Chains A and B, each alone.
Chain A
Amino acid sequence: MTQSNPVKRVKKKKEFNPINVIAPLVVLAIIYVGLEIFLRVFNVSEYVMPTPTHIIQGTIKSFHIILPDFLFTLKIICIGFCIAIPAGILLAALFSQFDLLVKAMQPVVIWLVITPMITLIPLMTLWLGTDPNLRVIIVIIQATPIICLNTLNGFTHVEREKLELARSVGATKLQTFLSITFMNAMPQVFTGIKLGCIFSTIGAVSADFVSRGRGLGDRIIKFMKYSNFEESYGCIILIALIGIGLYTIVSMIEKRVVLWKK
């Protein structure tokens, strides 16, 4: 052709940039050292804020006590989260099929997102009993609405031209949904799932706080009671690590799936 370029263009690959990893680690190190120095220089009491080193030492020392609760919370979050993802997406897919249902359900979903599910826990104990594993339900009803809301937003905002393309090739309703609507919503689906990570963690820990008996949330309160502040902070960090871990996994999957974003 008249203007085709015979030179094969070098495909740009998203290269691994070490700065992306080093920069946050440096910030973390600065916070660690800064806190350490600040707390020691101003002689801040351990009751107010233990030094980072003491937090790590204390947590390692009591890790055998923390571990079962850590695993329990991890299990609750993971199971709840893994159920919330398909539940949220399927509900959004269902709602998006009917304009009326979108109009009817969107405010309800928003209402569910806003309501802190922790408020339901005392009632749920009344309905379902005190089995700690039932906290999975809290995680599910906390995370599903936010995933559903974002996904629904993606499903209902498809460019008209894309749908016209589907029409011009005679795509069925299912073909259009799977290869246009769903793919088009993929970035929003991932936003929803990432928010779902955060909501799952919040749901699980707040359930621990109210129901007690097991879990990292429960462990924090117990340590506080016995003035083991180092371990309390250690538990908080562990909860954060669960959330960060999930978030990182989802981000990594997103990078492999959503290849078309600039």
Chain B
Amino acid sequence: MQNKVFSIQHIAKAFGNEKDGNYIQVLKDISMDIYEKEFIVILGNSGCGKSTFLKILGGIDSATDGSMELHGKDIGREIPREELKKFGFVFQSNNLLPWRTAEGNLRFNLNTMKLKGPEWDKRVDEMLDIVGLLDYKKVYPHELSGGMRQRVGIARALVHDPDILILDQPLGALDAITRKMLSYEILNIWKKTQKTVVMVTNNVDEAILLANRIFVFSNKPATITHEIPVDIPLEHRNHEIANDKRFNELREQINEIVRATL
């Protein structure tokens, strides 16, 4: 297989303190190898700790146990600040800064990372173009629809050219139609940008449409119960995917697993 980009070994996360009696273990012994250009989807019930896991991957939170390896280099339990440029995080509810325009939101990432120059200016336009919002460059988030905001959120996560794109239930806050449209768009963006993607969702169809590999998380404390490779060729992944035989087999299989973990 291709190069290993990111490797997670025995990650665990707990909140609170055993003595105070408010100790909660959220993640337990999660190990995962992520290869270049893979699209990994994590499925799990709500509240199982998927988001906590992504926050550790995205450098927002640190693990309490285990270690991570980025491009073969051990980085411990927390992504160090200088490595954060290699990650792009898409938040569940777009999380755009309301006081910045679409362009300004992309520039927030570039500014904080001190990425300046004409090549980055060009990249802002390129990324807005990829999500189809170049015409809305100067528009404030409150003037955009929910789907458009999330597309700006995706463009923002891509603007600093990260190696790994992390999406935390990016479609969760959208209506059913927009959700479907945007899931195809994420597929297109992945094809175009050739990024490594880790996404969390609770929608089985979405997971099969997008993923190379699906990891199913158990309930709290979350751990990987199943790893399912999705062997549907890219050219079959389009609006007609629901007619694909393999799609329906996988769907049945995963639904079974998800039902069992409830």
- A126 shortest CB reach to chain B, Å: 47
Say what secondary structure dominates the interface of chain A: loop
| Smallest CB gap from A159: residue in B | B95
Interface size in chain B (residues, C-beta < 8 A) = 40
Q: Which residues from chain B contact A179 at a C-beta distance below 8 Å?
A: 97, 108, 111-112
A166 within 8 A of B: yes
* Segment at the interface with B among A8-16, A19-27, A40-48, A57-65: A8-16
Q: Which residues from chain B contact A167 at a C-beta distance below 8 Å?
A: 59-60
Cα(A179)–Cα(B85), bound, Å: 18
A169-B112 CB under 8 A given contacts A2-B185, A161-B93:
yes
Chain B 172-211 interface residues, beta-carbon cutoff 8 Å to A: 181, 184-185, 188
- A179 shortest CB reach to chain B, Å: 7
| Smallest CB gap from B82: residue in A | A170
Chain B 81-122 interface residues, beta-carbon cutoff 8 Å to A: 81-82, 84-85, 87, 89, 91, 93, 95, 97-100, 108-109, 111-113
Cα(A1)–Cα(B186), bound, Å: 11
Chain B 138-185 interface residues, beta-carbon cutoff 8 Å to A: 138-143, 147, 160, 181, 184-185
A183 within 8 A of B: yes
Q: Which residues from chain B contact A183 at a C-beta distance below 8 Å?
A: 97, 99
Cα(A258)–Cα(B99), bound, Å: 7
Q: How large is the interface on A (under 10, 10 to 19, 20 to 34, 35 or more residues)?
A: 20 to 34
Q: Which residues from chain A contact B184 at a C-beta distance below 8 Å?
A: 2
- B163 shortest CB reach to chain A, Å: 14
- B32 shortest CB reach to chain A, Å: 19
The one of B59, B138, B140, B185 that contacts A168, using a Cβ cutoff of 8 Å: B59
The one of A5, A169, A186, A259 that contacts B140, using a Cβ cutoff of 8 Å: A259
| Smallest CB gap from A12: residue in B | B143
Cα(A259)–Cα(B140), bound, Å: 8
Asked if residues A164 and B60 are in contact (CB atoms below 8 Å), the reply is: yes
Q: Which residues from chain B contact A262 at a C-beta distance below 8 Å?
A: 142
Asked if residues B99 and A186 are in contact (CB atoms below 8 Å), the reply is: yes
Asked if residues A169 and B108 are in contact (CB atoms below 8 Å), the reply is: yes
| Smallest CB gap from B136: residue in A | A9
* Segment at the interface with A among B11-19, B127-135, B212-220: B127-135
Asked if residues B91 and A161 are in contact (CB atoms below 8 Å), the reply is: yes
| Smallest CB gap from B81: residue in A | A170
13 A/B residue pairs, CB under 8 Å, sorted by A: A162-B95, A164-B91, A165-B95, A165-B97, A168-B84, A168-B89, A169-B84, A169-B108, A170-B85, A170-B112, A170-B113, A179-B108, A183-B99
List chain A positions with a Cβ less than 8 A from chain B.
Answer: 1-6, 8-9, 11-12, 161-162, 164-171, 175, 179-180, 183-184, 186, 258-262
Known: A1-B185, A11-B139. 7 other contacts (CB 8 A): A2-B188, A9-B139, A165-B89, A167-B59, A167-B60, A260-B98, A260-B140
